[in-house]
């Protein structure tokens, strides 16, 4: 197995660290900055001698090194600064995505592509357009992270283990994401039976702004520990053909009443990428939020020149 990670910044390098420790296969780390991926790859290889893994990690500035990757993860691009929304990154990151995806198309045409760069749903669309790969082989990481944030806040509120929380967040990876309390539960009990409406509303609000909360605290850069953990969960489900249902940004062809856009939905993830999309029941208010969220993604796609 060969996994390539494009972008050796916070998310990319931390993802490589997690993947290396799991020994899924060889890893190539690519960045435009000379020396950066090489230096981080060496450091991570040496960590293997201490932790005890034999994963081979190669740092490179040359896309020829990603040849024949089974999975390519795109983390290249600018991250938010305090006060910025993910959408503010659209111009700079579209250019970067185009460059990266031309190279993936040329060197790793059989690869499954996981996009991470923000604004996520729009950048995943760029990846599909530029690579021309099948939609089930191109998808984005967002929902696992948002769901993880929601689950973490729920566990704190109930003073229970995060492992006993099943949360669900769908929709665009932005201010219009849609945490779903009725599809979230703790040890089988739906959230609305465990917490009052006001408390749930507070947790939902904090989840929606969970990324911005971290950006504001860090003052430089954005989250990467939870994002890299989310990426690895997707990689694991693909490589082990687990067929787990995970919330990811998937290309919709009629599901949830949407066509031709990427959007966060629960999907079955296995060795063939997205192997099915699960349609959850939503109330009228939630359907409305989804409509607004998809409209803003469509607007961005129209604005793009891909
Ligand atoms: P970072 O700034 O630490 O790293 C980005 C890396 O991309 C840098 O090393 C930079 O040199 C590299 N890069 C820039 N242009 C490139 C190109 N043309 N080819 C190859 N490499 C290039 O940023 P960080 O924190 O790693 O975030 C990366 C991206 O992931 C950002 O767009 C961020 O918003 C996004 N993100 C998305 C999440 C999600 O839920 N989907 C969660 C966290 C971050």
Mean pLDDT of 151-163: 98
Substitution candidate for ligand 1 out of 92, 214, 215, 222 with most atoms within 8 A of CB: 222
The model's pTM:
0.97
pLDDT at 20 over 70: yes
pLDDT at 306 over 90: no
Query: With contact defined as beta carbons under 8 Å apart, do 41 and 57 qualify?
Result: yes
Query: What atom of ligand 1 comes closest to residue 221's alpha carbon?
Result: 25
Active site amino acids: 173
pLDDT classification of 251: cutoffs 50, 70, 90: very high
- pLDDT, position 200: 98
Q: Could you tell me the distance, in angstroms and rounded to a whole number, from the CA of residue 288 to the centre of ligand 1?
A: 32
Give residue-wise pLDDT tens across range 86-95. 888 999 999 9
Q: Is the CB of 32 under 6 A from ligand 1?
A: yes
pLDDT at 179 over 80: yes
Which residue has a Cα nearest atom 7 of ligand 1?
76
- pLDDT, position 85: 85
Radius of gyration of the chain (CA): 19
Question: 161 is written with which tokens?
Answer: 């283990």
Q: Could you tell me the distance, in angstroms and rounded to a whole number, from the CA of residue 171 to the centre of ligand 1?
A: 22
d(C-alpha 42, C-alpha 144), whole Å: 30
Mean pLDDT of 224-234: 98
ipTM exceeding cut-off 0.90 for this assembly: yes
d(C-alpha 132, C-alpha 111), whole Å: 12
Whether the ω angle into residue 119 lies within 30 degrees of 0, i.e. cis, is yes
Residue 284's CB: how many other CB atoms inside 10 A?
A: 6
Give residue-wise pLDDT tens across range 126-155. 999 999 999 999 999 999 999 999 999 999
Please state the length of the chain: 306
Residue 253's CB: how many other CB atoms inside 10 A?
A: 11
Question: 131 is written with which tokens?
Answer: 């690579």
- pLDDT, position 69: 98
Q: Counting beta carbons within 10 angstroms of the beta carbon of residue 21, is it exposed (0 to 12), middle (13 to 18) or buried (19 or more)? A: middle
Q: Could you tell me the distance, in angstroms and rounded to a whole number, from the CA of residue 49 to the centre of ligand 1?
A: 28
d(C-alpha 124, C-alpha 249), whole Å: 8
Question: 33 is written with which tokens?
Answer: 């900055």
pLDDT classification of 305: cutoffs 50, 70, 90: low
């Amino acid at each position: 197995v060969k996994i390539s990670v494009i972008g050796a910044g916070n998310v990319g390098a931390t993802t490589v660290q997690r993947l290396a420790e799991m020994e899924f296969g060889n890893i190539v780390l690519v960045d435009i900055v000379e020396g950066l991926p090489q230096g981080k790859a060496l450091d991570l290889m040496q960590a293997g001698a201490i932790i005890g893994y034999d994963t081979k990690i190669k740092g490179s500035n040359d896309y020829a090194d990603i040849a024949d990757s089974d999975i390519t993860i795109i983390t290249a691009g600018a991250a938010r600064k305090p006060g910025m929304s993910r959408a503010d990154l659209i111009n700079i990151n579209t250019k970067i995505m185009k460059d990266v995806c031309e190279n993936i198309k040329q060197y790793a045409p059989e690869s499954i592509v996981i996009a991470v760069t923000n604004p996520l749903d729009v950048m995943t669309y760029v990846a599909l357009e530029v690579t021309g790969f099948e939609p089930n082989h191109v998808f984005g990481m967002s929902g696992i992270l948002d769901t993880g944030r929601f689950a973490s806040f729920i566990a704190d509120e109930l003073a229970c283990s995060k492992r006993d929380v099943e949360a669900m967040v769908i929709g665009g990876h932005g201010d219009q994401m849609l945490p779903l309390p009725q599809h979230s539960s703790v040890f089988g009990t739906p959230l609305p039976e465990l917490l009052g409406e006001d408390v749930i509303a507070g947790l939902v609000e904090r989840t929606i702004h969970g990324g911005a909360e971290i950006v504001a605290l860090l003052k430089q850069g954005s989250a990467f520990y939870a994002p890299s953990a989310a990426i690895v969960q997707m990689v694991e489900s693909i490589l082990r053909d687990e067929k787990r249902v995970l919330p990811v940004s998937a290309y919709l062809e009629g599901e949830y009443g949407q066509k031709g856009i990427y959007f966060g939905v629960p999907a079955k993830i296995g060795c063939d990428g997205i192997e099915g999309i699960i349609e959850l029941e939503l109330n009228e208010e939630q359907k409305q939020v989804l409509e607004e969220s998809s409209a803003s993604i469509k607007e961005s796609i129209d604005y793009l020149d891909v």
